[in-house]
Amino acid sequence: DQQVKQNSPSLSVQEGRISILNCDYTNSMFDYFLWYKKYPAEGPTFLISISSIKDKNEDGRFTVFLNKSAKHLSLHIVPSQPGDSAVYFCAASDRGSTLGRLYFGRGTQLTVWP
Amino acid sequence: KAGVTQTPRYLIKTRGQQVTLSCSPISGHRSVSWYQQTPGQGLQFLFEYFSETQRNKGNFPGRFSGRQFSNSRSEMNVSTLELGDSALYLCASSEQGGYGYTFGSGTRLTVV
């Protein structure tokens, strides 16, 4: 049973515009959320995280928003750059920032075109 | 600071054989987890180790096992390989209370 869902397998955005990647979860015990980026033949790279006590976290061009009542989070990338083209994974933990097991979505392939 | 090192990078094995994969975490990281990535299932959790103790295990058959050594290095073993075990196996490490696992580049296992 997929507890973390990324319903869009792909997203295509023009360079300079905003990319919005979405993620939904079903387990109300999840209290820490992360986004990872993955290039082919490499391991996932940690991008940004958010605790359930917050509704927004920013780091440079990346902002993650959390809507607990809707069990929904999103990653905004502004402005998008061609180097952002990769697969983005949403992940969740039910052990706060001590992480433990992560539950991953199946990923969204982001393509940023010039 | 060196990253998470996984060896070997690529491996081809025959059905029925067994395989051992190795992971060296970032220095100072005591938590190590393993994930299996396949096109159909995404990233699936295998195990989590902390200070040589398995803290959590995913929903995989008993053919999948692992261990962690006193220097935090970890190995996972798959016995009686099946074609469906072909996947990218990823190891990740973190500090206790860390803010995100750091993943290695993975071991690509192909079972023929």
Q: Which residues pair with A46 in a beta bridge?
A: A36
The predicted pLDDT at position B96 comes to 66
CB pairs < 8 Å spanning A and B: 60
Asked if A50 contacts A1 with a C-beta cutoff of 8 angstroms, the reply is: no
CB contact under 8 A, B42 and A105: yes
**Chain mean position to CA B45:** 9
Torsion-angle region of residue B97: left (phi > 0), alpha (psi -120 to 50) or beta? left
Interface of A with B (CB under 8 A): 34, 36, 41-46, 49, 89, 91, 97-107
The predicted pLDDT at position B40 comes to 74
What is the per-residue pLDDT across A47-99, written as a single tens digit (0 to 9) for each?
999 999 999 999 999 999 999 999 999 999 999 999 999 999 999 988 765 66
Q: Å from B105 to nearest chain A CA?
A: 4
Task: Find the farthest-apart pair of alpha carbons in chain B and give their distance in angstroms, rounded.
Answer: 40
What is the per-residue pLDDT across A93-113, written as a single tens digit (0 to 9) for each?
887 656 678 899 999 999 999
**Within chain B, which residues score under 70 in pLDDT?**
1, 96-99
Beta strands in B25-100 (DSSP E): 31-38, 42-50, 53-57, 64-68, 74-78, 87-94
| C-alpha span between A99 and A104 (Å, rounded) | 12
| C-alpha span between B17 and A43 (Å, rounded) | 26
The predicted pLDDT at position B98 comes to 54
The predicted pLDDT at position A94 comes to 84
| C-alpha span between A82 and A113 (Å, rounded) | 6
Contacts of B90 in chain A (CB under 8 A): 43-44
Pinpoint the alpha helices (H) of A70-111.
none
Contacts of B58 in chain A (CB under 8 A): 101
The predicted pLDDT at position A2 comes to 85
Reading the block at residue A107, the tokens are 């990923």
With DSSP H G I counted as helix, E B as strand and the rest as coil, what are the percentages for chain B, rounded to 5? 5, 55, 45
The predicted pLDDT at position B1 comes to 62
The predicted pLDDT at position B83 comes to 96
| C-alpha span between A24 and A73 (Å, rounded) | 6
Q: Å from B20 to nearest chain A CA?
A: 19
Q: At A60, give phi and psi (nearest 5°).
A: 65, -125
